[in-house]
């Protein structure tokens, strides 16, 4: 039996729901929500014992810190000020964005959360989402499969967890109730949500392709009781879907053949791009070929876009 199938939710003390009160009115998962996959359990499930022992020893500090930030994220709900403030002025918004960039955030977007993107049996305090990306160092990811690549992935998980908790504190200090959702152990499917926030578009590898860093990013969110955020009204990166149909570099480079050449369509009209069971073994060994071999990882977004439209 697969561990990640047995344990479908984090322990209660890591769950935001545990820290919600009777006065809260959380947004529950939709009828077509996906089951969450707990990444640490996935890593434990696959790979040789020797490799896992070596990897976890080297990743221990990042992993423990990430777990601590998950606890902070969940418990922090009890510190919401409950001022009733729901309107964010432009100065506060700009100050928040500047602070986020100081913490290492690469890009920021805003959207309403589709309930079907909330993981099955999870819930979030508010459906107003601030979405964040953080760059992973592409030169380190390029060494995959390697311990260095795995460390960079977990460094980013850790850094994003720290960042969203600090940004949540910043917002609470200014009177806003919010719910930070870290990159590891989050409450929603961040990839389609970030796409709706106009931060990029999902590539054939199932990862958000961003203009500046391609798929070489991790994602996190903060749900906030502010309804006048500059929500995205359209996505400027939809052409990526058509480009990926002609590229297929990630499909060809995947060592386990885990990337579908034609994505599967789910009931919620979103797509499944990866066969998880095929992907998990090499991923547990530090594989990130679908990131390092993607043409967008080189940072040539505008050049690729230009030649894509010239070729039509």
- pLDDT at site 208: 97
- pLDDT at site 1: 46
pTM for this entry: 0.92
Both structure tokens of 191:
């990839």
Domain locations along the chain: 3-310
Strands 107-112 and 27-28, sheet pairing: unpaired
- pLDDT at site 153: 92
- pLDDT at site 42: 63
| φ, ψ of residue 239 in degrees (nearest 5) | -60, -20
- pLDDT at site 277: 81
How many helices (H) and strands (E) would you count in the chain?
12, 10
Map residue 180 onto helix, strand or coil. strand
Please list the ranges in the chain whose pLDDT falls under 50. Answer: 1, 3-4, 6
Cβ neighbours of residue 78 closer than 8 Å, sequence gap 6 or more? 19, 21
Q: How far is residue 65's CA from residue 162's CA, in Å, rounded to a whole number?
A: 9
The whole-chain average pLDDT of the chain stands at: 90
Q: How far is residue 237's CA from residue 311's CA, in Å, rounded to a whole number?
A: 17
């Amino acid at each position: 039996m697969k561990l990640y199938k047995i344990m479908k939710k984090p322990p209660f003390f890591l769950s935001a729901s545990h820290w919600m009160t009777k006065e809260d009115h959380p947004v529950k998962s939709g009828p077509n929500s996906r089951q969450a996959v707990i990444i640490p359990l996935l890593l434990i499930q696959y790979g040789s014992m020797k490799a896992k022992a070596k990897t976890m020893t080297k990743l221990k500090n990042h992993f423990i810190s990430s777990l601590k930030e998950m606890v902070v994220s969940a418990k922090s709900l009890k510190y919401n000020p409950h001022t009733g403030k729901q309107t964010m002025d432009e100065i506060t918004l700009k100050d928040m964005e500047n602070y986020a960039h100081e913490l290492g955030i690469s890009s920021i977007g805003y959207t309403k959360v589709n309930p079907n993107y909330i993981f099955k049996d999870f819930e979030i305090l508010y459906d107003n989402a601030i979405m964040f990306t953080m760059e992973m160092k592409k030169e380190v990811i390029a060494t995959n499969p390697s311990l260095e690549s795995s460390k960079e992935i977990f460094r980013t998980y850790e850094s994003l967890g720290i960042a969203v908790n600090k940004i949540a504190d910043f917002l609470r200090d200014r009177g806003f109730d919010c719910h930070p959702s870290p990159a590891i152990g989050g409450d929603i499917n961040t990839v389609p949500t970030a796409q709706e926030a106009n931060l990029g578009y999902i590539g054939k590898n199932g990862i958000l392709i961003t203009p500046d860093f391609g798929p070489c990013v991790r994602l996190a969110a903060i749900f906030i009781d502010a309804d006048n955020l500059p929500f995205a009204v359209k996505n400027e990166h939809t052409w990526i879907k058509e480009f990926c149909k002609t590229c297929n570099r990630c499909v060809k480079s995947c060592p386990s053949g885990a990337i579908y050449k034609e994505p599967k369509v789910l009931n919620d009209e979103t797509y499944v791009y990866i066969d998880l069971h095929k992907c998990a073994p090499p991923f547990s060994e530090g594989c990130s070929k679908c990131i390092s071999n993607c043409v967008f990882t080189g940072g040539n977004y505008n050049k690729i876009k230009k030649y894509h439209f010239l070729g039509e």
